[in-house]
Structure 1
Amino acid sequence: MPFGQLSFARVGDEKWTWLPPHTDYFDCTYKDGLLYAVTLMGEIHTFDLSGPAVTMNTIMGVDDDDDFGIQGAYILQAPWGGLLLVWRLKVYSGNPDDISALTLHTKGIKIHEVDVAAKKLVEIDCLHGHVLFLGHNQSLCLSTKECPALKENRVYFTDDNEYITVHKDNRRDIGVLRLDNNSWESLVFPQLWSNWPAPVWITPNLTMMKLLLN
């Protein structure tokens, strides 16, 4: 922020470096010196942070899939290689005349593998023994073999409504979505009203946990 813009800092920097002039970034991920960022319209940029001067490249233009409703856009590294672009369908419920009373609900997920060379998206409907975690913080794709408590081919999501300050007292959009039939499951029951601050996933250090257990 502001306006979904990006800034970064290297180890030892005394201040943040702003990456103008683009706005409306929804998610980003970093690997091997490149920062990948996606806008809400599906445009994907890379920023090369490995040198003294930052360079930007557009690897995917604006997506024209405008029939998918209110969207969240997420970008992440697939464990089997390459990039995944994930669309999240959200719909409003409640009284449209009372903005503070409106709540967002996740109704669907679309997952694409990004063909960087051809600059196109390839839709997939199976995660091959993996699960997705979506929310305000970093998007993740984890193996169910390494995390057997998780159910494969699911998307675990938390509320990432940017207007959460307006909807502080509303029920949060938290749950699990099955990709095989697009059905919704409760993550916890009864449903929590985790209204403030915004709910996030906590990622433990699995390597450190294994060392402690041994």
Structure 2
Amino acid sequence: MDDDQSVDWSCLPEELWLMIGKCFTSNIDLLRFRSICKSWRRSSLIPPLAVPPIFTPTIAASSGQLLLTPTTIYRLEPSDLSKALSTSSSSKAWLIKVDESSYRRLCLLDPCTNNRLSHFRSWYPFNSFPKGLNLLNFRFVELVKAYSISLDGSGLTFRRFHHEISGKVVTFPNFAGTQLENCKFFYVHRDGKLGFSKIGDDEWTLVDDKNSYYDDIIVHKGQLYVVDRWGTISWIDCSSSSLKLVQFSPPLCGLGKKKHLVESCGSLYVVDMYAEGDPNNSRGTYYEVVDLKVYKLDEEWGRWLDVKSLDERVFVLGKDCNFSLSARDYHGCEENCIYFCYRGCASMFNLGTSTFCSPKVFWPCPTLFNYGGCV
């Protein structure tokens, strides 16, 4: 076949489209596939409304059900057609976060706070608030898959009725295509307890009943790691039924009150948050963040390195996941900065100048909706 010869995909046998339609694991990919034409839409039925897994945790401070709502962070790039029609020569992409608890309606979220786009309605001029995003104008690249944690005391399963609580949950193993029924959910509660559960369990099981001072958990290079409030990183041995904790690093001995784990360029970092008050309290409002310090774990020598600059990288400390990005690749990102949730709003800390400010350009993304994406 000649390289310049076009292919009429609509001529493929219908049974192939049926097979292709069953292979999608991403809600966005499924919606984009169904939007091409009627025959593609007929070949892929929308599954029933997705219901997030529900557990009854023993480590929660309040009564109710713990709901795990899937969220995904995507790199959003203009499609080839959008690039051809655009007068902009920028190669930067946008960062978006999507609540994927429903196949029928996807909600855009703030990557730091998990606030819905509608939370920023007042930021837009009168009658200019975007009503939607045309998925065909963009190319989606999945960056991070996570779960937000909601405490639901009403038995309702729609996100707008949930009350988000602080804590971190990860699935293990987290390889692409792994069924949730085959995963364990590991959870660091805001009071420092570390537990795990599986779908169908009636309660959570504590991994370490002697230590209730864990701050964060992450999957790094296919292995589970947790950090406690003294900055000691341990890995969880999931090969045995006992789930033994093995110390991986020396204590950091940082004086901050909360440690955050971040993976960047293959290395493990800890962001130490200095605060007046308790960042782990149930409301998250009675504390003042006064400083952030960054440390890199030298895994070869087993020591901590004091990091003075992230260079062109940025760290994002989200409510349900932490990650690192190249500031040069995304609209609105400022290099050598740490983005985090503070009192329900996004805040930014410049590591070079040790100053805090509000990242008004980072989200919402006005250039995203001005790029022909609104419908």
Calculate the TM-score normalised by the size of structure 1: 0.66
- The structure with the largest alpha-carbon Rg is 2
In structure 2, distance between residues paired with 1:2 and 1:179:
26
Q: Name the counterpart of 1:107.
A: 290
In structure 2, distance between residues paired with 1:65 and 1:33:
27
- Aligned-pair CA distance for 1:104: 2.1
2:273 aligned with 1:88, yes or no? yes
Contact 1:34 1:50 survives alignment (8 Å): no
Q: Which ranges of structure 2 fall in alignment gaps of 5 or more residues?
A: 1-188, 278-282, 364-372
Match of 1:139 among 322, 331, 334: 322
Q: Name the counterpart of 1:64.
A: 253
Q: Name the counterpart of 2:243.
A: 54
Q: Name the counterpart of 1:75.
A: 261
- Aligned-pair CA distance for 1:187: 2.9
In structure 2, distance between residues paired with 1:127 and 1:181:
12
Calculate the TM-score normalised by the size of structure 2: 0.40
1:38-86 superposed Cα distances (whole Å, 9 cap, x missing partner): 11111111103255552321012333333xxx522011211x2121111
2:363 aligned with 1:175, yes or no? no
2:229 aligned with 1:40, yes or no? yes
Contact 2:216 2:260 survives alignment (8 Å): yes
- For 2:266, what is the secondary structure of its paired residue? coil
- For 1:126, what is the secondary structure of its paired residue? coil
Contact 2:227 2:261 survives alignment (8 Å): yes
Contact 2:262 2:315 survives alignment (8 Å): no
Q: Which has the higher helix share?
A: 2
Q: Which ranges of structure 1 fall in alignment gaps of 5 or more residues?
A: 93-99, 160-170, 190-200, 202-211
In structure 1, distance between residues paired with 2:197 and 2:328:
35
- For 2:259, what is the secondary structure of its paired residue? strand
In structure 2, distance between residues paired with 1:35 and 1:9:
15
Question: RMSD of the TM alignment (CA)?
Answer: 3.0
Contact 2:328 2:335 survives alignment (8 Å): no
In structure 1, distance between residues paired with 2:247 and 2:274:
24
Contact 1:33 1:49 survives alignment (8 Å): no
Q: Name the counterpart of 1:19.
A: 207
Greater RCO (CA < 8 Å, at least 6 residues apart): 2
Percent identity between the two aligned chains: 20
Q: Name the counterpart of 1:31.
A: 220
In structure 1, distance between residues paired with 2:325 and 2:196:
26
- Aligned-pair CA distance for 1:37: 0.5
2:194 aligned with 1:6, yes or no? yes
Q: Name the counterpart of 2:307.
A: 124
- For 2:329, what is the secondary structure of its paired residue? coil
Q: Name the counterpart of 1:164.
A: none
